[in-house]
Chain A
Amino acid sequence: MSRPDPSTHGTRVVKPADFDTFWDNVLARSDALPLNATLTLDPLRSSEEVEVYEVHYDSLDQVRIAGWYCLPRNRPRPLPARVFYPGYISEPTLPKAHAAQGYATFGVAPRGKLRSHRQFNPGYPGLLTHNIVDPQSYAYLGFYVDAVRVIDFLLQRSEEVDPQRIGVQGSSQGGALTLVAAALRPQIKAASAGAPYLTGVIDAIDLTRTYPYEEINDYLRVHPESREAIARTWSYYDCLNLADRIHCPIIVYIGLQDDVCPPETAYPLMDQLASSEKRLYAYDGHGHDANHYEHDQVVDDFFDAQLELNS
């Protein structure tokens, strides 16, 4: 039996009336916090072409966040920059190879990831349902802010980074954090989101039995009374509801047989994105890989053009 066309699935996600107030308040809390960033050169990871720094900065609740910051040697500055957001179970990328091409690059470890887990460590599985019944203390509140504050860090590095040429990218949870950052930091010039997670969450949990979304189904089996509270929490965090704040050029790529982040959730996202330059690449015959094996070149070409790498 063939599945229905995923583009016709639609969504049950609703936007709360106080959604913008919620995020404006969160951003105000974040903006009031100094980054207190530190950079430490890592000689072991640095090469003849690239300097690698371990960065730490403060985020919400004074949680200290780690990241890898790579700068190409012998390139005219300020540089275009690319931020790489990690997947749910992935370690943060150390994006040295892209730095060698001429970008300042940043691979962030939001709270709970290795090197950022001393003060907050809900574990895997665990992160997705940590305080999921309360939007004010849900795990992804700080997690999203950690991702946004990478941009704040780069905007402070004007001697190295051109603030007009910052791009964000990632796949799966990295795709979700790409959307979050692009929505909450309009300074971002271009974005690429693969197999975006945390998009249409209450739709997705009925479409898949695969982790990480299955964490929510596990939770609901034990706490069936919490379905409404979970839907309410997710209405504040769902990337669908952030999408109308995204105005930069953006590409999205998905696999039509993705059992992790169901493709059905990508189509409402495309409808909601406010960008005038947006494109969906939907790959038949691919799952959660979203054909990155071939599509990575599309992403590189997109950023090279949008961020004027060779200008």
Chain B
Amino acid sequence: MKPDDFERYWSQVDQELAQVELAPERTELPLRSTPEGKVYGLRLTSLGGYRIFAYFGIPEGAGPFPVIYRLPHYGSVVHIPPYEERCQYISVALCHRGQRLSDQPFAASYPGLLTHGIESQDGYIYRSIAADGLRVMDYLLTCKEVDSRRISVVGGDLALWTAALRPQAAALFYSPSLFYRALERAQGTQHYPLEEYNDYLRSFPQIREQVVRTLAYFDPLHFAPQVQMPTMLMEESPGAGDELAAALGGPVERYTSHHSSYRDGVSQANWLAGQLQMPAPLLPQHWQ
């Protein structure tokens, strides 16, 4: 159930962020730059004064450029944005707090991160991680190389949260991940990372109610009505996203995953190019 103070909870995060200077620091990584574009390491200050890192690629040529902003999946390592994307777009890949390159002073445990601080909605680590995602959007909106009308957000639930709380994004490519029907899906598996929820509740059954309450602040269904931009919803199986599709606030297209990084990757690249009014995307040689 959506908490009564859901909106207040997230506006409080925004208020706290507004009191923190971005303090951007962008340093070229010459080893990763190519003749087609430069790659930078971007450092920003996020919630609680925490410095976070993101890869930031800018193509050669005259900007401003459209943006593909990738929110990370669950794990410690984030790849540099793909070469092909870096040739056409400002391509951004966030390492949220706890992930490598944003792991000072907090280094996340895997497994462990998913339940870190879950006993309180105010102390849950994903409150800060969500703020990290917003922080990069705040930077993009100040950046002269960015065409601020053509920013896309790509990823799992972190991407949805970002799109909901930063309506300036022009498009969202969303694949529901660990926070969608979290405990219900965890009950049916022993595989990590969802098993982290089971581990935690097995050890601390007395605070199940609070865990449910904490997760309600992060439930994609509760964010979905705030997402007003065109959205591509990638579903694991036909119909799996019915509830989400109905809840999303803007125009929704749906795509059932082929469980193929090739077929899903080509579909994503084409959809983003269309939304960002770009010519046909460059694709890896093996995808052509």
Which residues of A are at the interface with B, using a C-beta cutoff of 8 A? Answer: 1, 3, 43-45, 47, 50, 89-91, 93-94, 96-97, 100, 114, 123-125, 207-211, 214, 218-219, 221-222, 255-259, 262-263, 285-289, 291, 293-294
Complex CA gap A293/B261 in Å reads 11
Contacts A/B (CB < 8 Å), 20 sampled: A3-B285, A43-B203, A47-B198, A50-B190, A90-B75, A96-B192, A114-B76, A124-B77, A209-B83, A211-B80, A219-B31, A258-B286, A259-B285, A262-B286, A285-B262, A285-B263, A287-B261, A287-B265, A288-B261, A293-B259
Given contacts A89-B75, A210-B284, A285-B260, 13 further A-B pairs with CB under 8 A are A47-B202, A91-B76, A96-B195, A214-B80, A218-B32, A221-B31, A259-B262, A263-B286, A285-B258, A286-B262, A286-B263, A287-B260, A293-B259
A94-B111 in contact given A210-B83, A285-B262, A286-B261 (Cβ < 8 Å): yes
Chain A positions within 8 Å of B284 at CB level: 208-210, 259
List, in ascending order, chain B residues with CB within 8 A of A291's CB: 259-260
- Chain A interface, DSSP helix/strand/loop, else mixed: loop
Contact digits for B75-91, partner A, Cβ 8 Å, 1 yes 0 no: 11111101110000000
Closest CB of chain A to B177's CB: distance in Å?
A: 16
- Which residues of chain A come closer than 8 Å to B104, judged between CB atoms? none
- The smallest beta-carbon distance between A219 and chain B, in angstroms, is 7
| B163-196, CB < 8 A from A | 189-192, 195
Against A, the Cβ 8 Å flags (1 = close, 0 = not) of B20-59 are 0000000000111010000000000000000000000000
Give Cα A208–Cα B83 distance, bound, in whole angstroms: 10
Residues of A within 8 A of B80 (CB): 125, 211, 214
Looking at the assembled complex, report how far the CB atom of A35 sits from the nearest CB atom of chain B, in whole angstroms. 24
Q: How far is the CA of A114 from the CA of B32 in the complex (A)?
A: 24
Give the 5 A-B residue pairs with the shortest CB-CB distance, closest first. Answer: A287-B262, A259-B284, A293-B259, A287-B261, A257-B262
Q: Which residues of B contact A124 (CB under 8 A)?
A: 77, 100
B contacts with A, residue count (CB < 8 A): 41
The digit string for B126-159, where 1 denotes a CB below 8 A from any CB of A, is 0000000000000000000000000000000000
Q: Check: B19 CB closer than 8 A to any chain A CB.
A: no
**Which residues from chain A contact B111 at a C-beta distance below 8 Å?**
45, 91, 94
The 8 Å CB contact of A287, one of B83, B100, B192, B287, is B287
CB of B15 within 8 Å of the partner chain: no
Give chain B residues whose Cβ lies under 8 Å from the Cβ of A219: 31
Q: How far is the CB of B195 from chain A (nearest CB, A)?
A: 7
Report A-chain residues with C-beta under 8 Å of the C-beta of B198. 47
A114 touches B109 (CB 8 A): yes
Q: With CB as the reference atom, state the residue of chain A lying closest to B110.
A: A91
Question: Is B219 in the interface zone, CB < 8 Å from A?
Answer: no
Docked Cα-Cα span, A218 to B34, in Å, equals 8
Closest to A221 in B: B34
Q: Does B288 contact A (CB under 8 A)?
A: yes
Q: Output the nearest chain B residue to A47 by Cβ-Cβ distance.
A: B202
| Contact status A207-B77, CB under 8 Å | no
Nearest B residue to A90, CB-CB:
B75
- A208 and B190 form a contact (CB under 8 A): no
B199 at the interface (CB under 8 A from A): yes
Across the interface, do B203 and A257 meet the contact criterion of CB distance under 8 Å? no
Per a CB cutoff under 8 Å, which of B30, B110, B189, B203 touches A114? B110
CA distance A221 to B83 in the complex (A): 14
Contact for A294 among B79, B259, B261, B285, CB less than 8 A: B259
Shortest CB-to-CB span from A82 to chain B, Å, is 15
- Least CB distance, B81 to chain A, in whole angstroms: 9
Determine how close the nearest CB of chain B comes to the CB of A201; give it in whole angstroms. Answer: 17
Contacting pair B75 A91 (CB below 8 A): yes
- The residue of chain A having its C-beta at the shortest distance from the C-beta of B283 within the complex is A259
